[in-house]
Copies of this chain bind each other. A is one copy, B any other.
Amino acid sequence: METLSENTAFGGVQGVYKHRSAACACDMTFGLFLPEEAQDGPVPLLWYLSGLTCTHENAMTKAAAQGWAAEQGIALVFPDTSPRGEGVADDAAYDLGQGAGFYVNATQAPWAPHFRMWDYVAEELPALLTETFAIDPTRQSITGHSMGGHGALTLAMNLPGRYRSVSAFAPIANPTGSDWGRKQLAAYLGDDESTWAAHDASLLMRDKGFNGPVLIDQGASDQFLDLLKPEALAAAIASRRQPATFRMQKGYDHSYFFVSSFMEDHVTFHASALWA
């Protein structure tokens, strides 16, 4: 593992690291914020999964999360959103290929050799983090924005016991019913739609739910509401009677101004589960 940068931030360290990923068969870069408390022993970890076109860097510089994490004594990890580099398949569209991994293990050509973001986020990166840094693997929670909200919700519901709490900012909530989903799931997983269901937060919420607290924030003026389909997730939460808070936030759009506005609430929400 190579250290690309380390900056003191809020009494802790915001690092950027590069490592060879076996899951993605390429070099992968991630950001990790460790609070001051990590100098004395393992701390809880909050995952932040980013959206379409993002790298590890966007939320790390624009989500204003580190200050709240420092206040709560928890670490933050910012993975990249896809494999990258020469020899990694790509597409001219912003919403397929590099920058758009959708947190699945691709089974179809040309994506299958590298696009295994599910394994990367669910298995490889957590193992690396707990081996390398002062992270307590029994205290993990997960959040994300847009495509990353989709990732957070689908990981949390498919891996019961892994995360103590889950939240999302404007998640892609029903990808099997949206142009943000059908195109990508078909490309990565093939035309058999039965393989898609494990990657749809609304279907998972209806069938499995989550054994822990759930917080969803959605901007009411989000320019992508028709693609995100929050109403499908809200209906699934209601029909399952899943303990959850779903907030439609007046005036907010899809930007990091929305994400940062509610970051304090999300970090505080996760901290109370992580420290329980």
Contact = CB atoms under 8 A, between A and B. Distances in A.
A260 interface: yes
Interface of A is mostly: mixed
Interface in A182-204: none
A8 interface: yes
B67 A258 contact: no
Interface in A19-69: 61-62, 64, 66-67
B221 A67 contact: no
Contacts of A10: 260-261
Nearest to A262: B10
Given A7-B253, A7-B255, A252-B8, A261 B62 contact: no
Nearest to A60: B257
A264 interface: yes
A9 interface: yes
Interface in A204-260: 219, 221, 251-253, 255-258, 260
Contacts of A252: 8
A9 B62 CA distance: 13
Nearest to A7: B257
B260 A67 contact: yes
A14 interface: yes
A267 to B, nearest CB: 12
A34 to B, nearest CB: 13
A64 B62 CA distance: 8
Contacts of A257: 7-9, 14, 66
20 contacts: A7-B253, A7-B255, A7-B257, A7-B258, A8-B219, A8-B221, A8-B252, A8-B253, A8-B257, A9-B260, A10-B260, A10-B261, A11-B261, A14-B257, A61-B256, A64-B260, A66-B257, A66-B260, A66-B261, A67-B260
Interface of A: 7-11, 14, 61-62, 64, 66-67, 219, 221, 251-253, 255-258, 260-261, 264
